[in-house]
Structure 1
Amino acid sequence: MLKHLKTLSGHQNPVYALANSDKEGIFFSAGNDKGVVEWSAKKMAFVMVKLPVQSSVYTLHNYNNRLYIGERSGMLTVYDFLEQKIVAQTQAHTKPIFDIISIKSKDELLTTGEDGTVAVWSLKDLEELYRFQISTSMVRTMAVSPDESEIAFGSKDHAIYVYNLADYSFKQSLQIHSGPVTSLAYHPNGKYLISGGRDAKLNVFNLPEYQLRETITAHMFGVYSIIFHPSLPYFATCSQDKSIKLWDAEDFKLYKILSLEKSGMGHSHSINKIMWSNDGKYLISTGDDRQVMVWEMEG
């Protein structure tokens, strides 16, 4: 299903963020190095340090030929690939930014982080349109429903908060996890929302009512990322327990465990982020061991 293809070295500190490029075969990583690194999946090699940043980067988001960079300082930086330069910078939050997401139908960008607020920005000129408080605790993660009608926020206070995207009105909270919520993903067809937490569990909520369908003890420690394959009925999770797992998106059967312990190849420390390449051919992972690993999807 998935096999190790290449380990890319170069980062000197832990890595927290990954993003694909609109350009085929190019992706980016960032963390405590104070620089965003460009890699080539075609050549499986380092390309360049794309741009410097002032503090650690916790999240990267690519949308419409622009890379949005969220820093520990609360700074939001926008790099334009066509102009090959930084085109906007703003002190978006008073504390670290942990997640960035774009709302295509509204031409808006959302940022959230340690201060528990969500800021809504215009994608046209990065003007702040709206700001609201989700929680008094850190908001670590966001996910948008496929039809862009709802958005879910995962908080350090153990809760998931669901809002209507049309007017950012509160809909409901889901109090299932026994620890901070660290990852969220909607099924590509809108069947369910899946959440991961520091309690090492995955919770599956059937839509549209968000009824709890299943709880899975998925890892030994916190689940830091959940990503659905772009075309196949699988999703992958990664964890502080140094493992990546591949699951069936229909019946939640566990297909594969990628770890040093299980397969002799994997990360030696916490895995902080995973993503699929745009074509679904590769799974890319990174974490506290400073390595970027590329896994190939087989048959």
Structure 2
Amino acid sequence: MDIENNMSSGKYQPHPESIPVNIHTFGFGGVRYDNIILLSEDEALIPAGVCMAKWDIKRGRRIGLVQTNNDSIFVLLECGMYIISISYSGQVSILDRKGLNVLRKFQTKGRIVRHASVNNQYLSISCEEYKDQKGITLVYLFEELMNSPTQDTEKFIHLEIVGRYRFGTLTENGLLVTFLEKLVLNEPNKEQNENQQKMQDEGQDQAKKQKKGKKHVSKHHRRFYDLIQFDLNTKQQTLQQSCPYVCDLISGTSNGNSTGSYLYQDRHLIIIDLQSLKILTFTNIGGGKGSIMTLTYTDKSTLLLSPASNYLLYIDCNRLQEKELPNELIGNKEGQFDGYSVQVLKSRAAHPENYYIKLFNNFLFASNEGGFIQQNLQNLKDCRTISGMNITCCGLATNPTEQMVAVGDFLGNVYIYPAYICVDNDALFQTSVLSGIRSLDWDDSGMSIAIGTMEGSIYRWYFQDYTTQPQLIANLKGSITSLRFKQDNENQYLLAATTEGQFAIFQDNFGQNMITKTVFYGHMPQDSSDRFGSLDIFAEIWSCIWNCNNSNQIATCSEDQTVHIFDLKHKQPLQTHELKGHTLAVTSVDWKKMNEALGEVFISCSDDQTIRVYNPLNNFELIHEFSTSFVREWHTLTYLALEDGGTRVAIGSQNGYFFIYDLLEKQFKYSEKIHMGGIEGLVWKKTKIFTCSSDCCVNVIQV
């Protein structure tokens, strides 16, 4: 057995380099960060994964799309005639504002970029990952970078600052102001020690009490921030100021030269003088619950944010030089108060969970989970919304010719898009059922789609003129997590798996209702544990697959950390193999004939971040194992798909990462974040890979 050396834990593992890939996106993206650019009252640039989309706001239509980066765009800036697109991995693309042509593209030294700042002289990029360090901030000579023909962009790095520096902000007079994050071990008090001892006595490790799918964060570390100022002319640190401790900083903005404003996760607001680092105010914003996600300056002195649904809060920053704001602001009561005012605006554009907010002429622009919103402040009835699919894309299928891709959402809609490059964002066809979509598959004839729902119903949508309604063919226990058609000679079968641990097999009845061949419990309940809370009730099957050669054998994988192989030639399915080795839930399996060198391959992935490769022709011998643990943020693996007749496997993750791994060369070819949410579907069909995500986008990847 061959095991990759990147599976060791606790040591820094360099991120593999990724080959360029061509990605086309459907759906509305970019709502999770403050990274939208208004070109006018009628047009906006909105990132959609790795692409830049130009939208006609009045018509609610996409009128342009260009791939600018190799992974998801997290920061979007404008500076004069330039648009700057910076991806999560630190890839920088600089475009001309008028034609959106890429003028320059380069890779920074760091990764994980969530904040950047630009003016005519400098470009500052804050990276949260750099080699084995905790981050790096890079300041480039922006004007010289754009005016020079050389491609060696490192020559234009003016300043490098290694460490946990966050929210680097440039001023117009050559200063860089940034927050230095410090993690301080907080010794537990007597009560905490007693609680910890009690948990140990009960045999419950604190890590095991974390719900599946959530990152464990030590309660004994506190984050502190120091304000640091650098003079970019001398490249020296000039000032340092300690900030009040509250919790994580989540958002920040500045007005260019005088003040910077930043939000803490618990609704505290800090406003600083960028020149002196004096804290002008530190206040709590009342009137609502949950974090306030973004804020903006309407002009050089007025700060705007939404503290509660249907309310806007304005702060006069000029006044703060003379008098601080009260310790707590009233955010849900209209009126003029001491240093601030609150306005009622009954609109979806006024919401604390906005990821973007901007006042432009007489319009308020905002983005949140509901889409991108333009609210006319002089006519409240004039409210326009741009949105895509609704509440998580889940379930993905392509037709046999890879010309169309189908995707579902949690509201029960199924959309069919063209699987080729097109400017607009419109679905070709659409239908709906009575429950949220969990899985899809397209039959081998291309004439119908099987639809699996959250409530356990299976529908079949037959195509005549695409106006027919889906027909209910079965109801099973639990959600339908996986659907797989199989054509075997003249017979067509459908395999379905559920969260109750069942799988079912149906046979096509020549256009009539499908015949149920078997319903069987493939994985039985196990002993209960804190790590796998529901296993004593049912062992969810997360994925299933047919033998690539025939319809006599299937495989299932489960929350119980195992893969089961079943022989179907008997009266009842007979389990012939149980594949163990994963330490967490097994989430996806595939079974294909690869190229001549690899032969037939069976493969599985898991929440434990590992992928296991088996030889099904040699009693399912484990022949290779590798991991995605080099990704330095918590994640699980959700879906995978083998390249039929090739050498590669595609893998998706809960945090939006997408991987391509060559099984013959035993190395990653691509490993980047291409979605803002978890990948909830992945299909490899001939020359294209398709992914869908909880960010309500579908990616078509040409390989």
Same fold, TM exceeding 0.5? yes
1:73 alignment partner AA: E
Q: Which is strand-richer, 1 or 2?
A: 1
| Counterpart residue number, 2:681 | 273
Aligned mates of 1:166, 1:192 — CA distance in 2: 22
Q: Against the structure 1 CA distance between its residues 292 and 24, is the aligned structure 2 distance closer, same or farther, given a 3 Å change threshold? A: closer
| Counterpart residue number, 1:212 | 622
1:139 alignment partner AA: I
Conservation of the 8 A alpha-carbon contact between 1:59 and 1:99: yes
From 115, 124, 133, the counterpart of 2:500: 115
Instruction: Give the alignment of 1:68-107 within 5 angstroms.
Output: 68-82=450-464, 84=466, 85-86=468-469, 88-105=471-488, 106-107=491-492
Q: Against the structure 1 CA distance between its residues 138 and 218, is the aligned structure 2 distance closer, same or farther, given a 3 Å change threshold? A: same
Conservation of the 8 A alpha-carbon contact between 1:192 and 1:210: no
Conservation of the 8 A alpha-carbon contact between 2:418 and 2:428: no
| Counterpart residue number, 1:31 | 409
| Counterpart residue number, 1:245 | 659
Aligned mates of 1:24, 1:6 — CA distance in 2: 14
Conservation of the 8 A alpha-carbon contact between 1:182 and 1:222: no
Structure 1 residues 168-177 or 84-93, which shifts more?
Answer: 84-93
Q: Against the structure 1 CA distance between its residues 2 and 151, is the aligned structure 2 distance closer, same or farther, given a 3 Å change threshold? A: farther
1:213 alignment partner AA: I
| Counterpart residue number, 1:17 | 395
Conservation of the 8 A alpha-carbon contact between 2:655 and 2:676: no
2:21 alignment partner AA: K
Conservation of the 8 A alpha-carbon contact between 2:413 and 2:433: yes
Aligned mates of 2:402, 2:486 — CA distance in 1: 22
Q: CA deviation at 1:2?
A: 4.9
Instruction: Give the alignment of 1:175-194 within 5 angstroms.
Output: 175-189=580-594, 191-194=600-603
Is residue 437 of structure 2 the alignment partner of residue 57 of structure 1?
yes
**How far does the alpha carbon of each residue in 1:62-111 deviate from its partner, in whole angstroms, 9 at most, with x for none?**
10211000000111000111363246313421211001112322532111
Q: Any gaps of 5 or more consecutive residues in structure 1?
A: 260-265
Conservation of the 8 A alpha-carbon contact between 2:661 and 2:668: yes
2:408 alignment partner AA: A
Question: How many aligned positions are there?
Answer: 289
Is residue 536 of structure 2 the alignment partner of residue 128 of structure 1?
no
2:569 alignment partner AA: A
1:8 alignment partner AA: F
Aligned mates of 1:194, 1:159 — CA distance in 2: 12
Aligned mates of 1:74, 1:127 — CA distance in 2: 17
Aligned mates of 1:66, 1:2 — CA distance in 2: 34
**How far does the alpha carbon of each residue in 1:20-71 deviate from its partner, in whole angstroms, 9 at most, with x for none?**
1246521111121320011112353422452111111111011021100000
Aligned mates of 1:274, 1:103 — CA distance in 2: 18
Is residue 689 of structure 2 the alignment partner of residue 283 of structure 1?
yes
Conservation of the 8 A alpha-carbon contact between 2:433 and 2:470: no
Q: CA deviation at 1:284?
A: 2.0
SS at match of 1:158: coil
Conservation of the 8 A alpha-carbon contact between 2:390 and 2:409: no
Aligned mates of 1:290, 1:61 — CA distance in 2: 19
Q: Any gaps of 5 or more consecutive residues in structure 2?
A: 1-18, 28-387, 525-538
Is residue 468 of structure 2 the alignment partner of residue 66 of structure 1?
no
Aligned mates of 2:520, 2:648 — CA distance in 1: 34
CA RMSD of aligned residues (A): 2.0
Aligned mates of 1:213, 1:279 — CA distance in 2: 25
TM-score (norm 2): 0.39
Aligned mates of 2:664, 2:458 — CA distance in 1: 37
Aligned mates of 1:46, 1:173 — CA distance in 2: 45
| Counterpart residue number, 2:10 | none
SS at match of 1:107: strand
SS at match of 2:702: strand
Q: Against the structure 1 CA distance between its residues 140 and 53, is the aligned structure 2 distance closer, same or farther, given a 3 Å change threshold? A: same
Structure 1 residues 127-136 or 215-224, which shifts more?
Answer: 215-224
Aligned mates of 1:3, 1:267 — CA distance in 2: 14
From 554, 557, 563, the counterpart of 1:160: 563
- Relative contact order (alpha carbons < 8 A, sep ≥ 6): 1 or 2 greater? 1
Q: Against the structure 1 CA distance between its residues 130 and 83, is the aligned structure 2 distance closer, same or farther, given a 3 Å change threshold? A: farther
Q: CA deviation at 1:187?
A: 3.2
Q: CA deviation at 1:140?
A: 0.9
| Counterpart residue number, 1:262 | none
Aligned mates of 2:432, 2:588 — CA distance in 1: 27
